[in-house]
Amino acid sequence: MKSGKSGLYDDLKRQILTMELDPDEDLDEVSLSEKYGLSRTPVREIFRRLEGEGYVDIRANRGARVVPMNHSTLRHFFLVAPMIYAAIGRLAVQNFKAKQLSDLKDTQERFRIASTEGDTLAMVLENNRFHEIIGEMSGNVYLQPSLGRLLIDHARIGHTFFRPHNDDTRNRLQTAVQHHDGFISAIGAHDEDSVVDLVFEHWELSRENMEMFIAPQRMKADSPADVSSLLMEKSS
């Protein structure tokens, strides 16, 4: 753990994205001040910065909390995410800088290594950074804040995607890696249509994984006969 303002800022972002801090969880200003060797004023400054980026909600007379995630936010997320991702993709093709494309490639290599090694934390953070860079490529002051907010909940809703328990999830993860490679190639080639096609393929993959997290396979219920037998045993 790093101390100071940058350490607190980085740690809170990471903990929110990876669900170490739950949605709606209160942030204790006093304990964070002590833990990071800060007075309460810089802690509040970090809270305000994170509020501006969509990670934290500051309530009058009640302090800061992790931004909530409820049925309303989920509905809005699934409604607008693909539209915003597609618009960001088109603008990224039109406006990207060579340095940004280089940064995107470097981030993708870190994501690839993390996926090979099964490093869940690194996968979450590098995946988030990959899509942040595409947002920066767009250069659009209206869409970038919306993208940033979407990426927070995208990471939180689908964080179990990066825990490859079986062949199916490992294959899905490999597909995501291939999609990232496709984004890099299509952006570098100034191919808007291919980027948008990839956006919707990538979104569909993410949506399926998020649905698997939100509505996991149900537990096997006891049959009525089994329940009846158990009740009879208890009554005898």
Reported as a single tens digit per residue, the pLDDT across 48-65 is 999 999 999 999 888 999
What percent of the chain lies above the pLDDT cut of 70? 84
Q: pTM (2 decimals)?
A: 0.82
**What does the pLDDT read at residue 224?**
55
Is residue 109 located within the same domain as residue 154?
A: yes
**What does the pLDDT read at residue 228?**
58
- Is the alpha carbon torsion for 104, 108, 114, 119 positive or negative? positive
Cα Dmax for the chain: 78
Rounded to the nearest 10 degrees, the angle between the axes of helix 167-188 and helix 71-95 is 40
Mean pLDDT of 17-31: 93
Integer CA distances (angstroms), 197 to 90, 143, 174, in order? 11, 19, 18
Is residue 54 located within the same domain as residue 87?
A: no
Q: Which CATH number does the domain housing residue 12 bear?
A: 1.10.10.10
Evaluate whether 134 touches 94 at the Cβ level (below 8 Å). no
Asked if the structure places residue 158 within a domain, the reply is: yes
Please report the DSSP string for 140-207 in residue order.
-TTHHHHHHHHHHHHHHHTGGGG---SHHHHHHHHHHHHHHHHHHHHHHTT-HHHHHHHHHHHHHHHH
Asked if the structure places residue 152 within a domain, the reply is: yes
Confidence band for 149, pLDDT divided at 50, 70 and 90: very high
Q: In sequence order, which residues have a C-beta less than 8 Å from that of residue 77 and are 6 or more positions away?
A: 150, 153, 154, 157
Mean pLDDT of 12-21: 93
Structural domain count of the chain: 2
Is residue 87 located within the same domain as residue 19?
A: no
Is residue 95 located within the same domain as residue 58?
A: no
Q: For residue 57, what are the domain limits?
A: 4-66
Position of tokens 């992790």?
A: 66
